[in-house]
Amino acid sequence: MKPTPKDWPRISSAVFYEDPAAAIDWLCTAFGFEVRLKVEGEGGSIVHSELTYGDGLVMVGGLRTHEEDPNRIPCASPRGVEGKNTQALCVFVDDAEAHCAHAKAAGAVIADVPAVHDYGDDYWADKTYRAVDPEGHHWWFMERVRG
């Protein structure tokens, strides 16, 4: 494989929110993301954003419909589609317990408390917890404890 562009991971994801500006602030406060780039448009709308967590990158954007722009992919928040999620967001952290406590104090709903999931001696074990953000996206945070 060729090297990725400077400062870009091999894979990144985008997450869509009804209020992307508020989501960016919340994700930074609750989960520890850092804003690498935030392009604002009319009325404070988010045209493009890039949030980093270590060497990982996630983009946060707003909603779109085919009616607004038939050439663009429609995007929704779980809040607008009966809580359905279309992706699982997983992030490795250094300390799942401390990260969970910080996220909970910042208002994250903790759906699964930190617990060790052991996949056997031939594989690995992770301490993982699941949090739900204000618009219903589920985030899994995991700490490798063996492997």
Distance CA 26, CA 29 (A): 5
Question: Does some domain include residue 134?
Answer: yes
- Domain, as residue range, for 28: 13-146
Task: At 80, give phi and psi (nearest 5°).
Answer: -90, -5
Question: Does some domain include residue 132?
Answer: yes
Question: Does some domain include residue 41?
Answer: yes
Residue with tokens 């052991």: 118
Question: Does some domain include residue 80?
Answer: yes
Distance CA 99, CA 116 (A): 15
Question: Does some domain include residue 6?
Answer: no
Q: Chunk the chain into consecutive blocks of 10 residues (it has 147) and report each block's average pLDDT, rounded to whole numbers.
A: 88 93 97 97 91 96 73 79 85 97 97 97 96 95 95
Question: Does some domain include residue 23?
Answer: yes
Q: Domain count of the chain?
A: 1
Question: Does some domain include residue 21?
Answer: yes
Whether pTM > 0.75 for this model: the answer is yes
Look up the CATH number of the domain holding residue 30.
3.10.180.10
**Cβ-based neighbours of 146, under 8 Å, separated by 6 or more:** 118, 124, 125
The alpha carbons of the chain give a radius of gyration, in whole angstroms, of 17
